[in-house]
Amino acid sequence: MDKEQMEPRRRRRTQVEVQQLLAEFLRRQNTLLILLTLASSVLWWWPVCIEPNIDLPGWLPLIFVAIWMVFATILSGGHWLRLLGACAVGNFVGLVALAIWWPTDPIARPFLPVAIPIATVAAMIVSLMAGLTVRKISVSNSSLRRVIWVALMCCFVLELSTIAATPRLVAHKVRANDRVAIKRFIALKEAVEQTMAQPGGAQLSCNGSILKRSYLGPTFTETDWQRIAGNYVMQGGYVFMVYCHETGGYTIDTHPARIKGDGTLQLCTDESRKIGCGEKWNGSRHACMSCEGAPTNARTSTPQ
């Protein structure tokens, strides 16, 4: 057989080998894509749901679902249904893991059997819509595919880094909340003391609008001032309340909305003007406990 006859055969064999290598490469890429989708979907809800957290909005994971599925579907070469399945499984596993491993609000825990399926279905709907939108888009340009892969990996790294950084970010938030809460508490204490010193002060102290006139600390909203005498209001991760109908005077109570998640201080004061470490019903009134008599988790260094 002469060289002219062998050359076309060699070319065809080379083309077949190249096609086989390309198919194997794409198969491995798709496997990696499915595994990454599974791993990423497990983590989507963690930055939002772990306790304590940095109060990211609850809809943020759905944005990540949409972005991830758009990029992954474009790279999948038509295998987007496998990605949809990996996304559903990963979401469910991640939410169940959160419910088991991380402590949650005792009020919220009874709702977990309902919240987990709802969150999983919501993620499935978003991923389905994203996949359907771009399922016919295919990118063959190697440079553009690399760019999409880089974008996908950046999303994955962002998830991991957010989870890893959450404890430090929470600690920073708690320190900031503590500083502002002390300022609010001291200013509210002084406002109530000045109001109580006026004629008819016991009644005036139950009027938030009058308390506001003597208040010089970090702001409360108008709604807060309407409610603060007799109801807890929340600002900066702390709740504040003036008990103005107490026997012989009043009690001001301040504590974090979530212990360790929003703050570490539990502060109170009453007509004695002494600062204590938490309010407690003693059978006749809401009393301010001294720091020596407060539970261990309520003790804190009181502001001077």
Q: Quote the mean pLDDT of the chain.
A: 84
Whether 13 has a pLDDT exceeding 70, the answer reads no
Highest mean pLDDT among 89-98, 112-121, 228-237 belongs to 228-237
Say which range, 19-28, 64-73, 83-92, 182-191, has the weakest mean pLDDT: 19-28
Confidence of residue 6 (pLDDT cuts 50, 70, 90): low
What are the pLDDT digits (tens) for 138-197? Answer: 787 878 888 988 899 899 999 999 999 999 999 999 999 999 999 999 999 999 999 998
Q: Is the pLDDT of residue 23 over 60?
A: no
Q: Helix, strand, or coil here: 255?
A: strand
74-83, 156-165, 178-187, 249-258: range with lowest mean pLDDT: 74-83
179 vs 224: CA distance, rounded Å: 20
pLDDT at 53: 84
Query: Is the pLDDT at 223 greater than 80, yes or no?
Result: yes
Q: Which residues contact 255 (CB under 8 A, 6 or more apart)?
A: 238, 239, 263, 265, 266, 267, 278, 298
In which band, very low, low, confident or very high, does the pLDDT at 263 lie, cut at 50, 70 and 90?
very high
Confidence at 248, pLDDT banded by 50, 70, 90: confident
Sign (positive or negative) of CA dihedral 181, 258, 117, 154: positive
| pLDDT for res 179 | 96
Sign of CA dihedral 151, 152, 156, 157: negative
Domain ranges of the chain: 3-138, 172-298
Rounded-to-integer distance, Cα 119 and Cα 188, Å? 41
Q: Which helix (H) or strand (E) holds 268?
A: strand 267-270
Distance linking the first and last C-alpha atoms of the chain? 102
Name 252's bridge partners.
242, 269
Look at residue 294 and tell me whether its pLDDT is greater than 60.
no
> Cis omega before residue 52 (within 30°)?
yes
User: Quick check: 267 pLDDT over 80?
Assistant: yes
Please tell me the predicted confidence (pLDDT) of residue 104: 59
pTM of the model: 0.74
Predicted confidence (pLDDT) at residue 297 exceeds the cutoff of 60? no
The pLDDT value recorded for residue 95 is 87
For residues 65 and 99, which has the higher predicted lDDT (pLDDT)? 65
Lowest mean pLDDT among 106-110, 119-123, 152-156, 201-205: 106-110
Q: How far apart are CA 202 and CA 196, in angstroms?
A: 6
Cα–Cα distances in Å, from 68 out to 51, 65, 127, 194? 25, 5, 8, 58
At residue 55, the pLDDT reads 86
What is the mean pLDDT of the segment spanning 87-115? Answer: 79
Relative to beta strand 238-246, strand 249-256 is antiparallel
For residue 172, the model assigns a pLDDT of 94
Give the pair of three-digit tokens for residue 233: 């209001």
